[in-house]
């Protein structure tokens, strides 16, 4: 058995595997209509549910711990949707909707972060609720137009 060529063969095999996996690891591809719509609906859902949490805080009917946990979870969903729409190219014709959805997601995550920082402040909760209601409507309208 010739062991002199073994390191070269191993290196070639590793290189082949890396080349084969590169497209999957770099998340190549584009967002189609369904993917853009789904991410925008995630933004809408986060805003709508966040508005419900804010409404509970505004009325003094939500525990601080619940507000902290739900705003953190919803912030993550909105942020991930926004980043997905912003970082992954959309198919032709969908780029303006993807950009608008990313912007809406950014605003939603910002409002949720604001409530998270002050989970019992009724005045902040009121402002956040009004903003999230508006953004949920805008995201829903955008998703429906796709």
Averaged over successive runs of 10 residues, the pLDDT of the chain (146 residues) comes to: 54 46 54 97 98 98 97 98 97 96 98 98 98 98 97
Distance, in Å, from the CA atom of 45 to the CA atom of 101, rounded to the nearest integer, reads 12
Q: Rounded to the nearest 10 degrees, what angle do helices 95-117 and 64-87 cross at?
A: 160
Strand partners, 31: 90
How much is the pLDDT for 138?
A: 98
Domains of the chain, by residue range, sit at 31-145
How much is the pLDDT for 20?
A: 45
Which segments within 20-136 are labelled E, that is strand?
Answer: none
How much is the pLDDT for 7?
A: 55
DSSP state of 92: T
Distance, in Å, from the CA atom of 19 to the CA atom of 66, rounded to the nearest integer, reads 46
């Amino acid at each position: 058995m010739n062991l002199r060529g073994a390191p070269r063969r191993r290196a070639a095999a590793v290189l082949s595997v890396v080349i084969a996996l590169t497209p999957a690891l770099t998340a190549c591809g584009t967002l189609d209509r369904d993917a853009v719509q789904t991410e925008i609906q995630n933004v809408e859902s986060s805003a709508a549910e966040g508005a419900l949490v804010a409404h509970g805080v505004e009325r003094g009917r939500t525990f601080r711990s619940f507000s902290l946990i739900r705003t953190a979870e919803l912030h993550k969903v909105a942020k991930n949707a926004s980043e997905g729409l912003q970082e992954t190219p959309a198919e032709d014709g969908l780029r303006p909707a993807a950009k608008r959805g990313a912007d809406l997601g950014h605003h939603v995550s910002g409002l949720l972060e604001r409530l998270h920082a002050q989970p019992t402040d009724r005045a902040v909760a009121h402002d956040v609720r009004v903003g999230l209601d508006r953004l949920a409507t805008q995201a829903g309208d955008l998703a429906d137009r796709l």
